[in-house]
């Protein structure tokens, strides 16, 4: 295929956009001159008192000198830069739209990005893709600000000192050359859905068979995988189909909010809320008031640690009414629940009766924070309710992606890790506190940290003392890099750059490919190689359609049959341990997530959908708990103004308290993502 096909714009109702100029196709010197620089050399040195006429003269002279030197000395380049001079196919003030996708742990987001004169300016959902249907979320909308964030990582750093890219590539070549079978090498990554990333990961595993590959997401996944494997076998995952559900009960699962919601799931639920049809009924059990709780027809507030008791009582009631032998065997192994009040017991019984009456059209959802034993118990409830194959469908997965961050920490402590590659995420900030991951980094001889910011993980911190890791590699923003992804329905999405990396950042697939081959790729050939495998061939037409539409037609995952395995679930159920007393619940912030968007002013300015807090978090407690803890109240406005001092296992946190109506008693909820220590302007 032609190498000139770099990326492909979408068409709007006005018709196709002609997105390659004659000058570019002919590769004229004039075109190369004007795309070489958005801002000609010398412009930043112009005195502030220079007149407009003088300014224009300086600009013209600088452009001419730049053109002479660049056209004569530089090799041919592929450029994706803003226009410093208009081209014949571009209409000033008229946007050009490109389909792409934003990586996300629950599935890449299909998007359409508007560009003006080569600059991305607006993000919307891809109307062609069913998972989006033109809608998007606040994190996709605000990702533009991350692209232009002046606090982004701008340099390669060696032990904190600014280095050249060539210095890093030379060091990386030496590391991989002496790596042998991979003993002493470890990787720690986020959960990437990219098929190209997974392909390269498998190739790295073949090259270094004794390496350690770990994956970590602070907001869940491990407990759900354990429950799915026990319930349905390795390689299968249960996906709720709420559009077909007449009755829905959620256990600590905010599936309509940011916590666990997807655009596809929210739309499916909303279709059944019209009074003109058979409306669904929603039961919600949670410790704090959520977006899902706000939509509930019936809501029960209990401690997050007591959700297991609700699940067991619900399962016991349904097993007794249905006579389901498989669920009875699971309930018998699950530890006895503590007694509820008469009112709570009545609520659970009435919810169970409604679910039973809608057998085959009912579903129970459980949150990712709940232990694997509780999640497996919920799978047994859905099996007894006839949900499998109806309101719960199966999907094949690639299985476990590797070890846990706990396994990696153990290997580091034992001195078995000499070289550690950290791709994305910020584990020094959001890893479990008892791991002391920032201090563990000091025990690794060479840490290569790849990230969008110079953040907590760029330093090895022990007892408050910070020390730069061996190498910090600036990451490319998703609007600057070639890539691909899997949507929530498992369809293959394209990710194409709108502009060259502003600060010379690398993407994850570029870094993995360099480890494999010792060569830097622009990413296009890597994605095309994966596309060729998935689409069983590639030509100019199919590739252009993939980029234009933003996804590969027909790549959506087909539903799989789920067969419930009672015996391993019963074994898992027996491992559950109940908790008592005051609890601390960590929930993701609806705005800054796990802290990765803390430097985004647009998101910080947004009020929390429930508490209306901006720019901060607080410890949420119920009015009864506030009184129990002796929190003082301002007589003028009725607000509680006390601070809480929370100590758990030697860790201490001081945080302002906020009384939240609808919150469970003896429960404290704290939003994650705050308390960052890196110095960003926001």
Global pTM? 0.80
Percent of the residues in the chain that have a pLDDT greater than 70, as a whole number = 84
Sheet with 156-158, strands from edge to edge, namely 161-163, 156-158, 471-474, 446-451, 419-423, 185-189, 212-215
Q: Specify the pLDDT at position 320.
A: 84
Confidence bin at 2 (pLDDT 50/70/90): very low
Q: Specify the pLDDT at position 19.
A: 39
Q: Specify the pLDDT at position 395.
A: 83
CA 392 to chain centre: 23
In order of 429, 649, 658, the CA distances from 621 in angstroms are 25, 21, 6
Q: Specify the pLDDT at position 644.
A: 84
143: pLDDT strictly greater than 60: yes
**88 vs 181, more confident:** 181
CB atoms within 10 A of CB 427: 25
Confidence bin at 20 (pLDDT 50/70/90): very low
Mean pLDDT of 638-653: 76
Q: Specify the pLDDT at position 6.
A: 46
Q: Specify the pLDDT at position 75.
A: 42
For the stretch 311-349, pLDDT in tens is 888 888 888 888 888 888 888 888 877 777 788 888 888
d(CA 240, CA 385): 13
* Of 518, 512, 515, 548, nearest in space to 530 by CA: 512
Residue with tokens 């009112």: 343
Strand 667-671 to 619-621 pairing: antiparallel
For the stretch 232-277, pLDDT in tens is 888 788 888 888 888 999 998 888 887 777 788 888 888 888 777 7
Q: Specify the pLDDT at position 70.
A: 41
641: pLDDT strictly greater than 80: no
Q: Specify the pLDDT at position 510.
A: 92
412: pLDDT strictly greater than 70: yes
**63 vs 432, more confident:** 432
13: pLDDT strictly greater than 80: no
CA 9 to chain centre: 25
Q: Helix/strand/coil (H, E, C) string of 265-290?
A: HHHHHHHCCCCCCCCCEEEEEECCCC
Percent of the residues in the chain that have a pLDDT greater than 90, as a whole number = 13
For 564-608, the DSSP string reads: --HHHHHHHHTT-----S-EEEEE-BTTTBTTTTTT-HHHHHSPP
For the stretch 461-520, pLDDT in tens is 766 677 888 899 999 999 999 999 888 888 889 999 988 888 889 999 999 999 998 888
d(CA 458, CA 29): 42
Q: Specify the pLDDT at position 39.
A: 45
Q: Specify the pLDDT at position 400.
A: 53
d(CA 398, CA 670): 33
Confidence bin at 67 (pLDDT 50/70/90): very low
Confidence bin at 26 (pLDDT 50/70/90): low
For the stretch 167-182, pLDDT in tens is 999 988 888 887 788 8
Average pLDDT, rounded, for the chain? 81
Confidence bin at 79 (pLDDT 50/70/90): low
For the stretch 663-677, pLDDT in tens is 998 899 998 888 888
Q: Specify the pLDDT at position 12.
A: 44
d(CA 641, CA 632): 6
Q: Specify the pLDDT at position 332.
A: 83
For the stretch 374-385, pLDDT in tens is 888 888 889 888
């Amino acid at each position: 295929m032609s190498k000139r096909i770099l990326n492909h714009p979408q068409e709007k109702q006005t018709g196709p956009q002609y997105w390659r100029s004659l000058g570019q196709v002919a590769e004229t010197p004039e075109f190369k001159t004007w795309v070489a620089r958005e801002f000609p050399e010398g412009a930043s040195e112009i005195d502030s008192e220079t007149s407009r006429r003088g300014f224009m003269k300086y600009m013209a002279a600088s452009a001419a000198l730049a053109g002479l030197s660049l056209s004569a000395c530089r090799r041919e380049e592929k450029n994706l830069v803003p226009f410093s001079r208009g081209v014949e196919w571009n209409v000033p003030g008229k946007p050009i739209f490109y389909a792409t996708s934003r990586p996300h742990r629950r599935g890449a987001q299909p998007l359409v990005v508007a560009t003006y004169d080569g600059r991305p300016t607006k993000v919307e959902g891809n109307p062609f893709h069913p998972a989006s249907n033109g809608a998007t979320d606040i994190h996709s909308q605000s990702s533009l600000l991350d692209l232009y964030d002046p606090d982004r990582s701008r340099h390669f750093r060696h032990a904190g000192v600014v280095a050249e890219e060539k210095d890093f590539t030379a060091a990386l070549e030496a590391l991989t050359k002496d790596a042998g079978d991979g003993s002493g090498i470890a990787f720690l990554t986020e959960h990437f859905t990219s098929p190209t990333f997974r392909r390269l990961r498998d190739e790295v595993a073949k090259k270094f068979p004794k390496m350690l590959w770990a994956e970590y997401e602070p907001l869940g996944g491990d407990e759900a995988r354990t429950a799915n494997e026990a319930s349905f076998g390795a390689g299968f995952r249960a996906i709720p189909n709420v559009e077909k559900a007449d009755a829905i009960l959620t256990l600590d699962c905010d599936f309509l909010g940011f916590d666990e919601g997807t655009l596809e799931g929210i739309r499916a639920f909303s279709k059944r809320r019209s009074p003109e049809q058979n409306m669904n009924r929603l039961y919600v059990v949670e410790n704090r008031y959520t977006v899902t709780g706000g939509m509930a027809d019936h809501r029960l507030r209990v401690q997050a640690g007591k959700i297991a008791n609700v699940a067991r009582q619900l399962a016991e009631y349904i097993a007794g009414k249905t006579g389901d032998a498989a669920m009875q065997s699971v309930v018998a192994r699950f530890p006895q629940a503590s007694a509820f009040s008469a009112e709570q017991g009545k609520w659970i019984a009435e919810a169970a009766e409604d679910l039973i009456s809608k057998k085959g059209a009912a579903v129970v959802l459980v949150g990712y924070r709940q232990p694997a034993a509780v999640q497996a118990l919920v799978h047994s409830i859905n099996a007894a309710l006839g949900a499998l194959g109806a309101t719960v469908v199966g999907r094949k997965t690639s299985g476990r992606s590797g070890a846990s961050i706990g396994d990696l920490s153990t290997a580091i402590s034992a001195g078995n890790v000499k070289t550690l590659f950290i791709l994305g995420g910020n584990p020094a900030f959001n890893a479990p506190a008892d791991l002391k991951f920032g201090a563990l980094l000091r025990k690794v001889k060479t840490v290569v940290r790849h990230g969008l910011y110079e953040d907590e993980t760029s330093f090895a911190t022990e007892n408050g003392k910070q020390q730069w890791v061996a190498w910090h590699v600036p990451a490319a923003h998703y609007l600057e890099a070639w890539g691909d992804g899997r949507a929530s329905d498992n369809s293959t999405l394209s990710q194409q750059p709108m502009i060259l990396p502003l600060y010379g950042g690398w993407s994850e697939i570029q870094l993995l490919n360099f480890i494999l081959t010792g060569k830097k790729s622009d990413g296009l050939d890597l994605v095309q190689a994966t596309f060729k495998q998935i689409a069983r061939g590639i030509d100019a037409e199919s590739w252009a359609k993939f980029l234009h539409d933003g996804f590969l037609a027909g790549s959506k995952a087909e539903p799989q049959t789920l067969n419930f395995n009672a015996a391993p679930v019963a074994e898992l159920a027996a491992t559950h341990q109940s908790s008592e007393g005051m609890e601390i619940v960590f929930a993701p912030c609806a705005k800054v997530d796990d802290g990765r968007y803390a430097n985004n002013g647009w998101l910080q300015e947004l009020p929390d959908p429930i508490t209306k807090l901006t720019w901060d978090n607080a410890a949420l407690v119920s009015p009864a708990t506030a009184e129990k803890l002796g929190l003082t109240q301002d007589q003028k406005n009725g607000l509680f103004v006390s601070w809480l001092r929370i100590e758990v296992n030697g860790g201490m946190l001081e945080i302002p308290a906020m009384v939240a109506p609808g919150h469970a008693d003896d429960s404290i909820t704290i939003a994650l993502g705050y308390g960052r220590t890196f110095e960003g302007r926001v």
